[in-house]
A and B are shown apart, each in its own frame.
Chain A
């Protein structure tokens, strides 16, 4: 039983290390910024998750009491990794203004949010989300 848990912890640590290095290798190797975003946001997050699960098991096995901190860090990273990926993608789109013609069309009345503003509603305030029956509204401020 002890040997089984030790083997599981060791396997988790090595697996997490493998995913961490693959994520950073993807960051170094891939040719374009948007493709480079995929590496760290997915592979490194699983690497950290594996290390944290291994450490939870390790302290449970050695100390006997369950520690919640690791779960908190894992949840925090799972929640914030998509936010940082979205911000970096938006700043990349913002810096390459010529790219706006390479993006696919939105299919609705307004362009993408980095380049175009929100529609103005009936009360004169900008609406965050246009209602489904009346997409668009009047023209908003230029972003």
Chain B
């Protein structure tokens, strides 16, 4: 029985997400939309299951909400910082440089979330990953001290992602 459930819902989190997104798209909660969302949420992960060989292990779902709030606050801070740099600092004075961040995360989804978060936060854009997935190349807009940037990324984002994903 559990084997049948596992075959029918290979990604239960994806099913829930698809149902919620369908309800948001239809712009209202009614019985028909919920059923349609559940149908879509069952069919799509079932048909695309061969493309997702392993599921990421989410160890601590509660911390995801805290992480999202931190990221949202950092997005607002990032925009004000970029606006200040673009308007008030002449371009010759910007100390742009490439920085390498060594990684301790092991799953591909966690590294993707980290790279996306780094792009949305003040002053950094993630550009490339190393061939074996152990380091991340980051471009900083104004970094007088590259070690401080690496230390902040590791402490603020990678520490929290390690708690969520492993």
Which residues 61-113 in A have Cβ within 8 Å of B in the complex? 67-69, 71-72, 78-79, 81-83, 85-86, 89-90, 93, 102-113
Contact A67 to B27, CB < 8 A, known contacts A29-B86, A37-B139, A129-B108: yes
B86 near A69 with CB under 8 A, answer: no
Instruction: Write 12 A-B pairs (CB below 8 A) sorted by A numbering.
Output: A30-B86, A35-B91, A45-B79, A71-B24, A72-B25, A82-B120, A106-B134, A111-B130, A112-B128, A116-B131, A118-B132, A128-B133
A105 to B67, CA, bound (A): 30
How many chain A residues have a CB neighbour from B under 8 Å?
Answer: 63
CB-CB < 8 A to B82: which residues of A?
22-23, 26, 38-39, 42-43
A69 to B69, CA, bound (A): 21
B132 near A78 with CB under 8 A, answer: no
Say yes or no: is B43 at the interface (Cβ < 8 Å to chain A).
no
A126 to chain B, nearest CB (A): 10
CB-CB < 8 A to B126: which residues of A?
82, 85-86, 89
B51 to chain A, nearest CB (A): 14
Encoded as 1 (CB less than 8 Å from any A CB) or 0, chain B from 52 to 93 comes to 000000000000000000000001101100110011000100
A104 near B99 with CB under 8 A, answer: yes
CB-CB < 8 A to B135: which residues of A?
106-108
B158 to chain A, nearest CB (A): 14
Measuring CB to CB, which residues of chain B are less than 8 angstroms from any residue of chain A?
21, 23-25, 27, 75-76, 78-79, 82-83, 86-87, 91, 94, 96, 98-100, 102, 104, 106-108, 111, 115-116, 119-120, 123, 125-135, 137, 139, 141
A132 near B104 with CB under 8 A, answer: yes
Which residues 24-72 in A have Cβ within 8 Å of B in the complex? 25-26, 29-32, 34-35, 37-39, 41-43, 45-46, 67-69, 71-72
Contact A35 to B141, CB < 8 A, known contacts A106-B134, A112-B128: yes
A143 to B129, CA, bound (A): 13
Interface residue from B78, B102, B129 paired with A107 (Cβ < 8 Å): B102
| Contacts between the two chains (Cβ within 8 Å), count | 164
CB-CB < 8 A to B25: which residues of A?
68-69, 72
Task: Considering the complex, give the chain B residue whose CB is closest to the CB of A90.
Answer: B128
Which residues 113-130 in A have Cβ within 8 Å of B in the complex? 113-114, 116-119, 127-130
A17 to chain B, nearest CB (A): 13
B146 to chain A, nearest CB (A): 9
Task: Considering the complex, give the chain A residue whose CB is closest to the CB of B130.
Answer: A106
A39 near B24 with CB under 8 A, answer: no
B28 to chain A, nearest CB (A): 8
B131 near A45 with CB under 8 A, answer: no
A136 near B106 with CB under 8 A, answer: no
A111 near B131 with CB under 8 A, answer: yes
B79 near A113 with CB under 8 A, answer: no
